[in-house]
Amino acid sequence: MLSTTLNPKLVNPTEEHEMLRQTVREFTRKEIEPQAEEYDRKGILNTELLRKVGDLGLIGITIPEEFGGAGMDSTAAVIAHEEMCFSDPGFTLAYLAHALLFVNNLFYAANDDQRKRYIPKTITGEWIGAMGMTEPSAGTDVLGMGTVAVKRGDNYILNGRKIFITNAPEANVFLVYAKVDGRITSFIVESTFKGFSVSEKIQKMGMRASTMAELILEDVEVPAENLVGREGGGITNMMRNLEIERLGLAAMSLGMANRCLDVMLRYSNERQAFGKPIAEFGQVQSHIGESFAKIEAMRGLIYGAASTIGPDHRNRPASDAAKLFAGRAAKEVADSAMQVLGGYGYCNEYRVEQFLRDAKLIEIGGGTNEAHQKNITRDLCKLVQV
């Protein structure tokens, strides 16, 4: 992999970050890369690998040390996603859904009893977690969700549906958003709770090494002690977590783009046409030059944003901008890689076609481009309104 030409302190602010990157890179090379193509082809999640990722400590990357985590920051989470995505975007997405959408989300919203009950099992990868927000008829318009929770005795009774839920087929536990008296509230729902079920796997274009399904909530009985935070506190929980989620997804785009540039660079130096390497042709140079510029721009934006975001530090416009820009840029870089490789790119061998399929997801999942544009405009407008 090419290293950045930017100030190395931007991407590895401390010695710990540098060691983390080295460890994850080595782990990716030895453990993730060899299995990636097979799991993409089969369309299944490698749960054993997720446990190895847990052994390494990556699932609890942002969780404080006293709760069994590594106690690292958003930049560290970005490093982990970037490095793993160089080899396996689908698996990294499953990791993100578990480590950020569930573990990080729950930890910072939960009370100590809930942490004790759910963090130790999920931080190791023994239990897989997922998060349920999007519904069949409410995506970007999240406040329009229809899932409801009604208090009955010591339980809340949940009804509704959640769609496109990454890890749902394998997950043991879910963080589910539902409305109590019209106010969005978070609940911890175990897959064995009465009334809870999961649909068949939903087939998809890319990110096939992670799985998704629909959650079906039919009079699900959730004990009141599994309400996270307070009634109506769901939005705060959701918003707090969305920023690190977007950084993770943006970092995944960066990892995918790194891979695609790496492949096209090697290929264009070896592949000859008209008696010389195709890297000497202006048309190919246009793809390489533009891709490199996009990658360094992504990197600057993502790491610049990451250093401003933490459980107590919010920066919505920067996280939206990072994902909006990186998602599109990575898709373009993957497309360039395919164009440079021509027929070899369209076929499976170099895995460029997989990265193009995978890269598209970031323009949709975890917030569509349109949602980011809406958020950014709203946040910026507030700055100029009198």
Tell me whether residue 245 is one of the annotated catalytic residues.
yes
By the rule CB under 8 A, 70 interacts with other proteins:
yes
Nearer CB in complex with other proteins: 65/349: 65
By the rule CB under 8 A, 262 interacts with other proteins:
no
Question: What size, in residues, is the chain?
Answer: 386
Separation CA 242–CA 14 (nearest Å) = 25
The dihedral sign for the CA sequence 60, 171, 150, 241: positive
Sequence-ordered strand ranges (E) for 153-300:
155-166, 173-180, 183-190, 196-198, 212-223, 227-228, 272-273, 276-277
By the rule CB under 8 A, 11 interacts with other proteins:
no
User: In which residue are the tokens 């870089």 written?
Assistant: 333
Q: How far is CA 370 from CA 204, 316, 329, in A?
A: 21, 15, 15
Q: Residues 6, 19, 205, 380: which binds other proteins (CB under 8 A)?
A: 19
The one catalytic residue in 214, 245, 332, 353 is 245
Nearer CB in complex with other proteins: 71/229: 71
Q: Are 253 and 359 in contact (CB under 8 A)?
A: yes
Number of residues lying near other proteins (CB under 8 A)? 21
Coil, strand, or helix at residue 167?
A: coil
By the rule CB under 8 A, 267 interacts with other proteins:
no
Q: Residues 6, 7, 9, 22: which binds other proteins (CB under 8 A)?
A: 22
Nearer CB in complex with other proteins: 72/362: 72
By the rule CB under 8 A, 16 interacts with other proteins:
yes
Separation CA 250–CA 96 (nearest Å) = 11
Q: Residues 43, 71, 300, 310: which binds other proteins (CB under 8 A)?
A: 71
For the chain, the maximum distance between any two Cα atoms, rounded to a whole number of angstroms, is: 79
By the rule CB under 8 A, 72 interacts with other proteins:
yes
Could you tell me which stretch among 56-64, 101-109, 142-150, 294-302 binds other proteins (CB under 8 A)? 56-64
Q: Residues 48, 65, 141, 218: which binds other proteins (CB under 8 A)?
A: 65
By the rule CB under 8 A, 66 interacts with other proteins:
no
**SS3 assignment for 47-116:** HHHHHHHHHHCCCCCCCCHHHCCCCCCHHHHHHHHHHHHCCCHHHHHHHHHHHHHHHHHHHHHCCHHHHH
Q: Residues 58, 106, 213, 301: which binds other proteins (CB under 8 A)?
A: 58
* Cβ at position 30, least distance to other proteins in Å: 7
Which residues form the interface with other proteins (CB under 8 A)?
Answer: 3, 15-16, 18-20, 22-23, 26-27, 30, 55-58, 60-61, 65, 70-72
Which residues belong to the active site?
245
